[in-house]
């Protein structure tokens, strides 16, 4: 089978396709013929070896997968064979076949392509968990999404619109802002311009935004927190800018505002059942056409290294997906 392997930590652009024997489904496992793999910023950090958890070498990158079950191991029901499934695993998705514990597989919702499914679980579950469970977003509220044209940001736009919010999408380039607008944002903001808070106020007026969805960190977080309306909530989702910002706590007091950590992965490890209602709601929204998870572009396996490099170099737009037949 064709596969991409990380043999040494380093720049993702150096990854290349190689041939390896197919895995076999062991006891309790299912063998999945991979149709698509979703990639995120964390996958690129795994390849560099700079994520907080290091994957032992060698490993196959790619943590989100969608495809069809082609065989099952001992103790797994035969009727799983042929089912369309999606799953999360911290490695292994950039390969034509992947053996996974059958218990980790989720059915792909009706009407969803394998490409959309591969990019769905992490970004959309994080968005709904963040906005609803952690942020208590209500219809009619105004949400500012930082890094809005990234994979996590685009899902937040889609979910927030489904919840009836007004969405301001902040991104660094005209292309990224156009992509966020096309994905459903009501307004866009160039947050690279100096004093972008004035531009935000011109867009939405006082008293400010009700929620900030922040997967970026760095120099953007404090001005975003300062842009909250009284009673606002700032959702800490990630640090794609690299630097972990610090916040003067008097701002929280003055605004009666909350800083809320959003760790969807930690939440489902601690409480696996918590994800069931989130997935049910998301699947219903996919089925009735409320959500739009189709990726803007699907890349062939040979491009996976370049796609991961683009994530690190801030060049990626939307959720990058690898299609095994693209
Ligand atoms: N909390 C959770 O449960 C959870 C779940 C999934 C992911 N995450 C985290 O969310 C973050 C975003 O992930 P993603 O997959 O959406 O990444 P992504 O597609 O690369 O998007 C991140 C965005 O951050 C902005 N950015 C600002 N400075 C950057 C820099 N120096 N390098 C790269 N990007 C920069 C970019 O937008 P502009 O160019 O417009 O500024 C980029 O579009 C990551 O930190 C990831 O670990 C958290």
- Condensed to tens digits (0 to 9), the pLDDT of residues 81-94 reads 999 999 998 899 99
Exposure on the CB side of residue 109, measured as CA atoms within 13 A: 22
Asked whether residue 174 is domain-assigned, the answer is yes
Q: Which atom of ligand 1 is nearest to the CA of 311?
A: 20
User: Rounded to whole angstroms, how far apart are CA atoms 219 and 170?
Assistant: 13
Q: Do residues 238 and 224 both lie within one domain? A: yes
Structure tokens at 295: 């990726």
**With a 6 A CB cut-off, is 38 part of the ligand 1 pocket?**
no
Asked whether residue 225 is domain-assigned, the answer is yes
Among 135, 171, 214, 215, residue to substitute to test ligand 1 (most atoms within 8 Å of Cβ): 215
- CATH code of 210's domain: 3.40.50.720
- Condensed to tens digits (0 to 9), the pLDDT of residues 266-277 reads 999 999 888 899
Tell me the percentage of the chain whose pLDDT exceeds 90: 95
**Going by CA atoms, what residue is nearest to atom 30 of ligand 1?**
241
Asked whether residue 161 is domain-assigned, the answer is yes
Q: Do residues 107 and 170 both lie within one domain? A: no
Q: 288: CA distance to ligand 1 center in Å?
A: 29
**Going by CA atoms, what residue is nearest to atom 24 of ligand 1?**
147
* 296 pLDDT higher than 90: no
Asked whether residue 283 is domain-assigned, the answer is no
Tell me how crowded residue 162 is: count the other CB atoms within 10 A of its CB.
Answer: 19
Please list, in sequence order, all residues whose beta carbon lies within 8 angstroms of the beta carbon of residue 31, skipping any fewer than 6 positions away: 22, 23, 24, 25, 69, 70, 71, 72, 73, 97, 98, 99
Q: Do residues 170 and 38 both lie within one domain? A: no
Q: Do residues 127 and 261 both lie within one domain? A: yes
Asked whether residue 157 is domain-assigned, the answer is yes
Q: Do residues 161 and 237 both lie within one domain? A: yes
Q: Return the pLDDT at 98.
A: 97
**With a 6 A CB cut-off, is 109 part of the ligand 1 pocket?**
no
Tally the domains of the chain.
Answer: 2
Domain boundary among 222, 248, 265: 265
| Residue (of 219, 263, 15, 235) closest to 126 by Cα position | 263
Asked whether residue 39 is domain-assigned, the answer is yes
Mean pLDDT confidence for 168-185 = 98
**Going by CA atoms, what residue is nearest to atom 8 of ligand 1?**
238
Q: Do residues 136 and 238 both lie within one domain? A: yes
**pLDDT-derived band of residue 52, with 50, 70 and 90 as boundaries?**
confident
Q: Do residues 146 and 219 both lie within one domain? A: yes
Residue 211's domain spans which residues? Answer: 123-265
Q: Do residues 72 and 198 both lie within one domain? A: no
Please list, in sequence order, all residues whose beta carbon lies within 8 angstroms of the beta carbon of residue 105, skipping any fewer than 6 positions away: 30, 32, 69, 80, 83, 85, 86, 87
Asked whether residue 137 is domain-assigned, the answer is yes
Q: Which atom of ligand 1 is nearest to the CA of 147?
A: 37
Q: How far is CA 295 from the centre of its chain?
A: 12
**With a 6 A CB cut-off, is 172 part of the ligand 1 pocket?**
yes
**With a 6 A CB cut-off, is 240 part of the ligand 1 pocket?**
yes
Structure tokens at 239: 């640090």
């Amino acid at each position: 089978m064709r596969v991409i392997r990380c043999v040494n930590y380093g720049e993702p652009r150096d990854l290349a396709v190689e041939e390896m024997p197919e895995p076999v489904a062991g006891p309790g496992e299912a063998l999945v013929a991979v149709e698509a793999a979703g990639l995120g910023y964390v996958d690129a950090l795994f390849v560099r070896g700079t994520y907080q958890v290091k994957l032992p070498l060698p490993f196959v990158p790619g943590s989100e997968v969608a495809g069809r079950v082609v065989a099952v191991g001992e103790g797994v029901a035969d009727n799983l064979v042929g089912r369309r499934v999606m799953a999360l695993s911290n490695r292994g998705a950039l390969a034509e076949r992947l053996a996974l514990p059958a218990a980790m597989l989720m059915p792909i919702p009706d009407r969803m392509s394998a490409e959309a499914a591969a990019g769905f679980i992490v970004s959309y579950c994080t968005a709904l968990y963040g906005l609803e469970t952690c942020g208590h977003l209500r219809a009619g509220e105004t949400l500012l999404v930082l890094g809005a044209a990234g994979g996590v940001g685009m899902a937040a736009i889609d979910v927030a619109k489904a919840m009836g919010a007004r969405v301001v999408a902040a991104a660094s380039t005209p292309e990224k802002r156009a992509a966020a607008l096309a994905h459903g944002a009501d307004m866009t903001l160039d947050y690279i311009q100096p004093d972008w808070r004035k531009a935000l106020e011109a867009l939405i007026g006082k008293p400010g935004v009700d929620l900030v969805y922040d997967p970026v960190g760095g120099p953007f977080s404090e001005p975003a927190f300062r842009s909250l309306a009284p009673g606002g909530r700032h959702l800490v989702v990630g640090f794609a800018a690299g630097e972990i910002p610090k916040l003067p706590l008097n701002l929280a007091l003055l605004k009666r505002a909350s800083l809320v950590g959003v760790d969807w992965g930690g939440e489902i490890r601690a409480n696996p059942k918590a994800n069931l209602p989130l997935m049910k709601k998301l699947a219903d929204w996919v089925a009735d056409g409320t959500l739009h998870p189709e990726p803007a572009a699907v890349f062939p396996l040979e491009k996976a290294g370049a796609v991961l490099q683009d994530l690190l170099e801030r060049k990626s737009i939307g959720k990058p997906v690898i299609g095994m037949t693209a």
